[in-house]
Amino acid sequence: MPFGILGMGSACPENVLTNQDLEKMVDTSDEWIRTRSGIAERRIADHNTATSDIASQAGRKAIEDAGLTPADIDLIIVCTLTPDYQLPATACQVMENLEIPNCMAFDLNAACTGWLYGMICAKGLWVTGGCRHALVIGADCLTKITNFKDRATCVLFGDGAGAAVLGEVEEGRGILSHHVSCDGRMFRHIMVPGGGSRKPFSREVLEADEQFIQMDGNDVFKFAVRIMPETLRLVLDKAGLAVSDLDWVIPHQANLRIIENGIKRLDIPAERVIINLERFGNTSAASVGIALDEAYRAGRVKRGHTLGLVAFGGGLTWGGMIVRL
Ligand code: UT7
C-alpha cells in the first residue's frame, strides 16, 4: 500500500525582520546578506509566540487540506530543535491545541532535516500498523536561540512551521523513495552548547552566550554543496527516475548559493526549483514544508506532480525523498 501526503499546511509569525533592521543591530549590510545568502527578510516570533503556536496553526491547515478532522489523527511528530519546554514534548501541546483526543505524540530533533526524518518515521509506524493518519510538523523558532550580537548567524534564521498529514494514498502516488542519514563526527559544526545536560543553564553559560546557536558556516557550506546533489541523485536512482522526471525540486532553504550550486551540479532547470528563502530565511525543520505548502497553495505544485525534497542540517544530518503528490 502506498503511503504519502494527504494534506499540507504552513504558518509563520507575522512580524517581519528585514536586512535593514539587522543593519541597525549588527555590523552588516543588506548587500552582504543578499549576496552571501539570498535572504532579504525573515519572520520572527514575538515574546508571546512559541513553536507549538505556529506548529498548531500549520497542523490545523494540513488536517483541513487532507479533508480530515483532528479525531482522525493518531500520530503527531513535531520535528523541532526549539521545543516550547524541555518537558513535555511540543507535540503534546499541539495535541491539546488541536483537540486531538487520543494519539501517539512525540518530538524529533534532526535539526533542519527534521521534517524529512519525521515523515520517514511516520512511514515506518504506518507500515507496522502503528498509525493510520500521521501529522508531521516541522516547526522552529530559531530566533529564540539566535545571538543577535553574532552577525555570522543572526542574519540567516527565521521562524515558521510546515506540516503534512500522511496516510494511505492511491497506487502510483506517495513516497517513492527516501534516504536519511547523519555523520556524527560533524556534530560540533552547528550546536547550542549550553542549557542541556552537558552544560545546564548557569550564570557561566549565559555570560558566554552558550544558550545560542553556534555554527562553522564555511564547513557547513562545503558539506551542503556536496551532500544536497548527492542525496537527490541517490533517491532518484532508488526510485528509478531521472532528473527530467521531477516536476519540482524543493530544497532546504538555507542559502541561495548552496541551492544554485546543487542544481547546477545536477543540471536541474532553475525554473523547476522552489525557492522562497528571500522572504523567510532559514526556518530550519520548517523550511521544506513551508516552501511546499506555499507553492501548492499558489497552484504551482499540483496533485500528481513528482517532487524531489532534499535537506541538510545540524548533526550533521541530511535526507532526500521522492514524492508523487
Ligand atoms: O540549515 C543549516 C544551517 N547552516 C547553513 O546553511 C550555513 C551554511 N553556510 C553559509 O550559508 C555561509 O557560510 C554563510 C552565509 C554563513 C557565510 O558566507 P561565507 O561566504 O561563507 O562568508 P564567510 O563566513 O567566509 O565570511 C566572509 C567575511 C568575513 O570577513 P573577513 O574575515 O573576510 O574579513 C566575515 O567576518 O564576511 C564577514 N561576515 C559578515 N560581514 C557582513 C560574516 N557575517 C557577516 C555579516 N555581514 N552578516
> What DSSP string runs through 233-283?
HHHHHHHT--GGG-SEEEE--S-HHHHHHHHHHTT--GGGB---HHHH-B-
- Give the C-alpha separation, 322 to 269, whole Å: 17
The whole-number average pLDDT for the span 81-93 is: 98
Rg (CA), the chain: 19
Identify the three-state secondary structure at position 7.
Answer: strand
Active site (annotated) includes residue 112: yes
Q: CB atoms < 10 A from the CB of 264, how many?
A: 11
Q: Helix or strand or coil: residue 220? A: helix
The average pLDDT across 312-324 equals 98
Q: Which percentage of the chain shows pLDDT scores above 70?
A: 100
In 3D space, the residue among 244, 245, 262 whose CA is nearest the CA of residue 253 turns out to be 262
Rounded to 10 deg, the angle between the 114-127 and 287-297 helix axes is: 80
Across 200-217, average pLDDT: 97
Q: To the nearest whole number, what is the mean pLDDT of the chain?
A: 97
| Location of C-alpha cell 511516520 | 122
**Alpha carbon of 240 to ligand 1 centroid (Å):** 38
Domains of the chain: 3-171 (3.40.47.10), 175-324 (3.40.47.10)
Q: What is each CA distance from 78 to 164, 189, 203, 304, in whole angstroms?
A: 11, 23, 30, 26
Distances (CA, A) of 321 to 119, 120, 129, 251, 285: 10, 9, 22, 10, 15
Residues 6+ apart with CB under 8 A from 104: 74, 75, 76, 125, 130, 131
**Residue 33's pLDDT is what?**
98
Give distance in angstroms: CA of 104 to centre of ligand 1. Answer: 41
What is the pLDDT at residue 1? 80
Distance between CA atoms of 32 and 20, rounded to whole angstroms?
Answer: 11
Give the three-state DSSP class for 258.
helix
- In degrees and rounded to multiples of 5, residue 169 shows phi and psi of -125, 170
Q: Which three cell numbers stand for residue 188?
A: 560540533
What's the rounded Cα separation, in Å, for the pair 309 and 149?
33
Model pLDDT, residue 121: 98
Average confidence (pLDDT) over 20-45: 98
Whether 92 is a known active-site residue: answer no
Q: pLDDT tens digits for 124-147?
A: 999 999 999 999 999 999 999 999
303 CA from centroid of ligand 1 (Å)? 38
Q: Is the pLDDT of residue 202 over 90?
A: yes
Tell me the CA–centroid distance for residue 124 and ligand 1, in Å: 38
Average pLDDT over residues 111-117: 98
Q: What residues form DSSP beta bridges with 180?
A: 319
pLDDT of 227: 97
Report how far residue 80's alpha carbon sits from residue 162's, in angstroms, rounded to the nearest whole number: 11
What is the rounded CA–CA span in Å between residue 275 and residue 253? 7
Q: Distance (Å, rounded) from C-alpha 298 to C-alpha 261?
A: 26
Using CB distances shorter than 6 Å, the residues near ligand 1 are 28, 32, 36-37, 112, 151-152, 155, 190, 215, 217-218, 220-221, 224, 254-255, 282, 313
Q: Which helix (H) or strand (E) holds 137?
A: strand 134-141
Q: Which among 192, 221, 287 is the best mutation to test ligand 1's pocket, defined by most ligand atoms within 8 Å of the CB? A: 221
Q: What is the pLDDT, as a whole number, of residue 242?
A: 97
The pLDDT > 90 percentage for the chain reads 100
| pTM score | 0.97
Predicted confidence band of residue 171 (pLDDT cuts 50, 70, 90):
very high
Q: pLDDT per residue over 256-306, tens digit each?
A: 999 999 999 999 999 999 999 999 999 999 999 999 999 999 999 999 999
